[in-house]
Amino acid sequence: MKKIIYPAENEWQEILKRPASFSDMEGIVKEIFKEVKLKGDTAIAKYTSFFDGVSLPDITVSPEEINEAVGLVPEDLKKAIAQAKKNIETFHSAQKTEKIVVETTEGVTCWLEKKPIQKIGLYIPGGTAPLFSTILMLAVPATLAGCKEIMLCTPPDMSGKIDPAILYAANLCGISRMLKVGGIQAIAGMTFGTASIPKVYKIFGPGNQFVMAAKQMATQFGIAIDMPAGPSELLVFADSSANPKFVAADLLSQAEHGQDSQVVLITTSARILEEVKKEIILQLAALPRKKIAEKALENSKLILIGSTQEAIAMINEYAPEHLNICSTEEEYLIDAIINAGSVFIGNYTPESAGDYASGTNHTLPTNGYARNYSGVHLDSFLKSMTFQKITEKGIRNIGKTIEIMAEAEGLQAHKNAVSIRLKSLADEN
As annotated, the binding site includes 123, 185, 208, 232, 254, 257, 322, 355, 409, 414
183 torsion bin: left (phi>0), alpha (psi -120 to 50), beta (else): left
CA dist 164 and 405 (Å) reads 62
Q: Which residues are annotated as a binding site for Zn(2+)?
A: 254, 257, 355, 414
Q: Which helix (H) or strand (E) holds 324?
A: strand 322-326
Residues annotated catalytic, as ranges:
321-322
Q: Which residues are annotated as a binding site for NAD(+)?
A: 123, 185, 208
Cα pseudo-dihedral 365, 367, 372, 376, rounded to 10? 0
> Which contacts qualify for 68-72: CB closer than 8 Å, 24 or more apart?
68/164, 69/162, 69/164, 69/165, 69/166, 69/167, 69/168, 69/171, 70/164, 70/167, 70/168, 70/171, 72/164
CA dist 137 and 145 (Å) reads 13
Cα pseudo-dihedral 186, 171, 227, 210, rounded to 10? -30
What string of DSSP letters covers 70-114? HHHS-HHHHHHHHHHHHHHHHHHHTT--PPEEEEEETTEEEEEEE
CA dist 177 and 266 (Å) reads 44
User: For 346, which DSSP code?
Assistant: S
HSE value, Cβ hemisphere, 13 Å, CA-based, for 161: 10
* Number of other residues whose CB lies within 10 A of the CB of residue 383: 15
Residues 6+ apart with CB under 8 A from 199: 119, 190, 191, 192, 193
C-alpha distances (whole Å) from 409 to each of 20, 111, 400, 422 are 47, 26, 14, 20
Q: Which residues are annotated as a binding site for substrate?
A: 232, 254, 257, 322, 355, 409, 414
